[in-house]
């Protein structure tokens, strides 16, 4: 599959005019390809989002004390809410 370079230099006014004239309900053509900006930051991987927008998830090891701390924090906020209190702004007040 050969790729060809296309000059995509537009002014802001031209882009705005194209965006306003476009039909948002029009179906995509069968041969449509995603826009890829030059350089590695704008490259696409398998999927529809570019890597700079949402990078791949990285699995890290969970230490038991991390899990316990997270569970304790969630449980603490749940207890505060169940008691009818609010701690949204850092001060414990009646809701």
Mention every residue, 6+ apart, whose C-beta is less than 8 A from residue 57.
none
- The answer to pTM > 0.75 is no
Question: Which tokens hold the place of 64?
Answer: 């038991």
Q: In 1-95, where do the E strands start and end?
A: 85-86, 93-94
Estimate the share of the chain in helix, then strand, then coil, as percent rounded to the nearest 5: 35, 5, 60
What integer pLDDT is reported at residue 8 of this predicted model? Answer: 66
Is pLDDT larger for residue 74 or for residue 53?
74
For 15-43, b/e burial (b = at least 16 CB within 10 A) is: eeeeeeeeeeeeeeeeeeeeeeeeeeeee
Confidence at 5, pLDDT banded by 50, 70, 90: low
Q: What pLDDT, on a 0 to 100 scale, did the predictor assign at position 49?
A: 63
Residues 37-70: pLDDT tens digits? 444 554 544 556 666 777 677 777 888 999 999 9
């Amino acid at each position: 599959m050969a790729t060809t370079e296309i000059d995509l230099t537009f002014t802001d006014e031209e882009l705005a005019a194209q965006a306003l004239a476009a039909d948002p309900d029009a179906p995509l053509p069968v041969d449509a390809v995603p826009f890829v900006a030059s350089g590695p930051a704008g490259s696409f991987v398998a999927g529809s989002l570019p890597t700079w927008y949402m990078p791949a998830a990285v699995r890290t090891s969970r230490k038991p004390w991390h899990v316990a701390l997270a569970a304790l924090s969630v449980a603490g906020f749940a207890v505060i809410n169940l008691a009818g209190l609010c701690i949204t702004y850092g001060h414990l007040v009646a809701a």
